[in-house]
Structure formats: structure tokens, C-alpha cells
Chain A
Amino acid sequence: MRITEHPIIKFKRGKKVTIYFEGKPIEAYEGESVAAALIAAGIYVFRYSPRHKRARGLFCAIGKCSSCLMEIDGKPNQMACMVRVRDGMRVRRQKGKGVLDGD
């Protein structure tokens, strides 16, 4: 969900881009984090934990906790809260430790 009206803040959103979550196109804005774009699109599960396969999502949003690790453009263990969206970016839920493209 995106805020359209706010009493104090004027949100200056960047250029509209498309990222692909598990192959599905999602609308995003330049300058925002992958995590913000996913949550705006109603996607909350970012990965499954290695041992107990528990769902994990965003927790700290400032690159401190590693709860939001995802596979981004073929690279695992990327913090979705710190990586900015790019047009055409491919984002996947990470399962366990993730896999490198070409593995």
C-alpha cells in the first residue's frame, strides 16, 4: 500500500520502473529500496530460513539485521532494505543460503 496523501510529507517518488519478483512484474520507483517496493506490492515473505524453513521478512530496514536477505539479479544474500530498485531487476525469495546463478 502506498500513501497518497499525508499531512506533513510530500513524497517525491522517482521514475516509475518495473522489477520482477519470482518472475512477476511489480511497479516500483527509482530511489526506493527493493524491500519498500515489495511491501508496497503486498509481498511480505522475503526468504525462508536455512534450518527450520521459517518465513522471514523485513525487520530493521537500515541494513543492520540481515532478516531481509534475498536473491537479487542472481546474487544471494542481498539486503533487500539496502539495495535500490533498478528497471528490469530480478528478485527472488531466498531459500536457506541461496544459490549463485551458474551454480
Chain B
Amino acid sequence: MEIDLLVVGGGPAGLSAAITAAELDHSVIIVDENPRLGGQLIKQTHKFFGSESNYCGIRGIDIAEILENKVNKLGITKYLESTVIGIYEDGVAIASEEDLRVVHPKKIIIATGARENMLSFVNNDLPGVYGAGAVQTLVNVYGVLPGKRALMVGSGNIGLIVSYQLMQAGVEVVAILEALDHVGGYEVHAAKVRRLGIPILLRHTIKSAIGNDKVEAAVITKLDEHWQPIPGSERELKVDFICLAVGLSPSYELAAQAGAKIVYIPELGGWLPWHKPNLETSVPGLYVAGDAAGVEEAVSALLEGKIAAADASNSIKENKYAQKLIETTQKELQEFRAGKFGKKIVEGKRKLYASLHL
């Protein structure tokens, strides 16, 4: 099948890209491995920050629905419960339980998101140790509780938000551990969990999980200024599950398979496809957007998806509308990253663009 654009991943970046391209009159296919579109938005019950044009004050779950409705209204082709298994010179292979399809897109946008980081401690593979996002999926998508008493490791926005959401669902969060000497996430989220009485233990980390076939307790320890555990400071906490909110890494595998140059930028979450400011990778016509182009957040993913799609549109056929869209969206993205929390991303992207000749 000949199409203009293939979008891999139906989260905020992919949806925004597909919608933008369809609005610019391109034929679009969007592929996602889940039964419904929305990516991680479908588990985000909190309200978003950001500019008004980017769903400020709306809950993630509702943004997913708004975007899905737009996709349907625009008549974008959706392949759900499907996986892009390879990007080759003679076509892109998309597999589902039932069949294997080959499509021939002019441009491809990879918006495969990110995966959760692991942390090294004794028994970290014990059932009951979850990524914080996994717990959010269980609780907010399926309405299933993994336990009654939780330990949260990490006080970035995900750690804070998931702690709050666990309390909303009736789980007791015993403590939030933070290895740094300050809270990682926004103060507004930290204040919310403090009001609920959850202690945020700074300069603390987890030493081990205890249990036979399932988490029954966790041993935590204080850290000195050189990040070393302070002997004698260990404490055992009775918890039946442990959430790790220690960051994410871009899912770059498909881009790598397609031949895109992969670079290591710690500020952006580690290994990721090298890309230009308009999100095109080292492979002409292959783009990345959202967390796959550097771990950030949903608002910037929406903006990056828009830029990537507009650039793809403009390179299929030069058009003023797409050029204008790139310009205004780049400006919006710059404004969004202007705050304290955008600094790291701006620095990471600067390094990435500077690594042009690697």
C-alpha cells in the first residue's frame, strides 16, 4: 500500500503527528500495539500543565479521548494490536496476531515512547517490584491494586504523581525515597503528597527487597554526600510492593533497525536516535518524536509530533502552511522548555545537535 506517512506509536507524539499530517491532506496510517490509542495518556488521571492550546488543565485520560476522536474524524487508518517489526528498503512490515502487512510510506515517524529504568539493589527482580508506570497502568487503567502498602523510590514527577494516585485508590504509601538532597519533581506535586502525610525521605535509597516469592518488606538506607550508604542507618519497612520511579530510557530499537545513527545523551535519557531540530534522523525521511526523541513529557511530545509531521509534509511537497506550522510550533516548544525543568532538555538537545559529525 502506497501512503504518505506511517506513524509508529499512538501516544501523544504519534497522535499529534498523525492528526497534523491528515489535516495537511496526507494519507496516514497509525500503528499501535495496544487495543486503543492514547499511549501512556490513558493512565494519567492528573491535569496537565502547559499552554492553553496544549490541553492545559485537562486530565491525560481526557486528552487521549480528544485526540482519538480527532483521528477517527479525519479518517486516519489505524492498525491496533499491531507491531512494526521492521523497516526495509522495499517496505515496512507490520505484524498482528492475524496477519502480516507490508506498506510503502513516503515518510515514517517513530513515536515509540520510552521504557522504565531499573535500579540495582538486592532482590530487585522479586515479584512486587514494579516500575511506577506499571502500577499506574494496573491502578488507573484496570482498576487493580497490586497491594496495600507501597514504597516509592524516586521523587521526580512520576514518583510524586503515582504516589498521590495510589493514595486516591486507597493504598498507603509508606514513604517516597530520594537519593538527591532535594525533591526531583514540581513543588506543586510534592506539596500534594506532603499534605497527605507521605514522608519524602531525602538522601535515602533502597538497599534490598525482602520476601520469598513476593515482596514482604524493603530495607532502606541513608546516603552520605558521596552517595554511599551510611552504615547503621538501615531501616526495614513493611510494604507489599515497591514502585521504582527512577527515570525512563527512549525506545530507540526500531530507529536503530532502520539504520538511524544512535547517540548517548544522558540529559535526554541515554541512547536515542540522533535527530535534527525538526526531528528527522540520520536516515532521510525517517523521523522520531516524543519520548523516543528524548525523555520529556506529554506536552512536548505533542509539539514534537506536530513539527515532525509538518516537516515530513513540507518535504513531500513544499507548502507554506507546513512551514508556518513548524515555525510557530518550534516557538511554542522553546517557550515550554524555558522554565527551570526545561533546562536539562535544552542542554541535551544542544549536545545532540552539536554531535552532528560524530
Q: With A8-B59, A62-B115 given, can you name 5 additional A-B contacts, CB distance below 8 Å?
A: A11-B142, A31-B35, A40-B144, A60-B116, A65-B115
The reply to whether B45 and A56 contact each other, CB–CB distance below 8 Å, is no
A residues near B, CB below 8 A?
1-3, 6-9, 11, 13, 31-33, 35-36, 39-40, 44-46, 49, 54-65, 67, 81-82, 84
Question: What is the distance, in angstroms, from B344's C-beta to the closest C-beta of chain A?
Answer: 23
A56 with B127: CB separation less than 8 A: yes
Give the residue of A54, A55, A57, A62 whose beta carbon is less than 8 angstroms from that of B133.
A62
Contact mask B119-141 → A, CB, 8 Å, 1/0? 00000011111110111011111
- Using known A-B contacts A3-B169, A6-B168, A60-B115, determine if residue A55 contacts B127 with beta carbons closer than 8 Å: yes
Binding site for A on B (CB under 8 A): 33-35, 40, 45, 59, 61, 115-116, 125-131, 133-135, 137-148, 168-170, 212-214, 251
**Is the CB–CB distance between B115 and A64 below 8 Å?**
yes
- Cβ-defined contact, A59 with B145, below 8 A: no
Determine the chain A residues whose CB is within 8 A of the CB of B128 once the complex forms. Answer: 44, 57
B127 and A3 within 8 A (CB) = no
Q: Are A56 and B125 in contact (CB-based, < 8 A)? A: yes
The answer, among B134, B139, B140, B213, for a CB contact under 8 Å with A44, is B213
- Given A3-B144, A9-B143: A58 touches B130 (CB 8 Å cut-off): yes
Partner of B144, one of A36, A63, A84: A36
CB distance from B111 to the nearest CB of A (A): 14
Shortest A4–chain B CB gap in Å is 8
* Cβ-neighbour of A58 out of B40, B127, B140 (below 8 A): B127
